[in-house]
A and B are shown apart, each in its own frame.
Chain A
């Protein structure tokens, strides 16, 4: 009886593995195809029957991405705006989140709801006047336009406020007795304890910033100020069917985020789980 049961369990596990492996192949397949295509010649990519393994590692496609487009510029634009947004948002949201969670002050609930209300509004509902504001400020085709409007974050403020709420109040009392003001209490006592929340937020911001398309498309039409996403889209516009070139460009654009994910896997997963349960 027990022998029969364990056999059944092993068979069950096998079925589960088979399903998961098939699914995993579907998930990873396009990435493998991206890599393989990026090494093909244009001729190889359009052969019937298809070439699966390129005859040699043609790095030329990667070179062509750099020579036919200011790709390094795209990289720098994406990288620098992402770093600025991550640092800025984590800092601002952490401060605001702390104040909303830990300090009693007049108008607190109203101001918090005001900031939170933005979460319910699709960005299209304010993107046109925001664009007109960029025109007025003379920020079109600058990295400032990509960074500054995105520094304040309702999502981040909410997330970190929840985090500070879950920390014990007693720490604050001890610090107050030492004569610290709230700003000092925040950066000396509470901010270090909210590190995992801030890392989760940093990952979200990095991901959104790296991959965002619509806003850069609207404000930065000059290739010198485009991020990777918009740059890649314009690459497609000009080399529509040169798939080896497009795959080489795509691969280079997505590689940094994939590497970051591989390194910080657990933080990615915990961060998403956090918003799923606390949201």
Chain B
């Protein structure tokens, strides 16, 4: 009896020891700071990093801050513009690669390249391609008689430019996930459909897409979360001093600006909580809606 207890205590000891570094790291560097953020959101910051209790002053300020709401709007436009297009294109590429085509792994490598490329470098090369005077894109448009826009400094085009880059760099990642989802679909469905004489087109919409919905759901949830947190692309491609920054800055960019440029960490904390709440809400809604369109086999 006491032997069993001793063994148990020993197991517990090793278990706690083995989770200790991860637990401590999580508590010190994530969970405790998260709790502090809730407090900081209610503080007023003065010069030189001093702060005092400010009640709901930051939340009141939020209501009247048109720049904040504009940046939220920008984030939504960016998300709605990039996530569905990115998912649709990566499904198409994955489906094409899944047709037992030759050179499949070469294609996969090429489409995946942007995924392993540093976002700052991606933004840099695209800034060059988009350059209004000497960029390749406008050179190409000029050669067919079109005067290209000032992609990154015209408020009408800046967001579109960001969305294009976002789609370009996300296709490879999603494609790999969809490819593994497609490979999990049983061949029997297609064989049966072949016997019935269903065309490849019909098979795609009647078999492939419905059976891929669990993967589509997963990719949608993660893509929306990361699109809502877009920062690097705007920081590098547009930049804080650009005349179009108001039309392109995301909520995270605005958060960064308030926290580390304007040094108003109280207001920035309130913005961070708003972002947190939005992401939670969007994710919960998606889980609620999943029953309506996700088919589990």
Contacts and interface: CB of A to CB of B under 8 A. Distances in A.
Interface in B74-129: 93, 96-97, 99, 101, 103, 105, 107-114, 116-122, 124-129
Contact of A129 (B33, B113, B176): B33
A167 interface: no
Contact of B16 (A28, A31, A105, A258): A105
Given A232-B121, A276-B180, A152 B134 contact: no
B168 A27 contact: yes
Contacts of A129: 32-34, 36-37, 40
A20 B93 contact: yes
A106 B12 contact: yes
Contact of B19 (A50, A95, A214): A95
A111 B19 contact: yes
A257 B122 CA distance: 13
Interface of A is mostly: helix
B33 A126 contact: yes
Interface string A224-247: 000011001100100001010011
A48 B134 contact: yes
Interface of B is mostly: helix
B96 A19 contact: yes
A111 to B, nearest CB: 6
B64 interface: no
A120 interface: yes
B31 A114 contact: yes
A26 B134 CA distance: 19
B218 A276 contact: yes
A100 interface: yes
Nearest to B11: A103
A124 B272 contact: yes
A207 B114 CA distance: 12
Nearest to B9: A105
Given A16-B96, A268-B116, A272-B176, A115 B23 contact: yes
Interface string B23-62: 1111011111110110010000000000000000000000
Contacts of A27: 110-111, 113-114, 168, 171-172
A128 B125 contact: no
A273 B275 contact: no
B16 A121 contact: no
Interface string A104-148: 111010010011011011111111111111000000000000001
User: Among A31, A48, A131, A269, which residue has the most Cβ atoms of chain B within 10 A?
Assistant: A269
B229 interface: yes
* Nearest 4 A/B pairs, CB to CB: A152-B25, A129-B33, A273-B180, A276-B177
Interface of A: 12-13, 16-17, 19-20, 23-24, 26-28, 30-31, 33-34, 37, 45-50, 92-93, 95-96, 98-100, 103-106, 108, 111, 114-115, 117-118, 120-133, 148-154, 157, 181-183, 186, 207, 210-211, 213-214, 217-218, 228-229, 232-233, 236, 241, 243, 246-247, 250-251, 253-254, 257-258, 260-262, 265, 268-269, 272-273, 276-277, 279
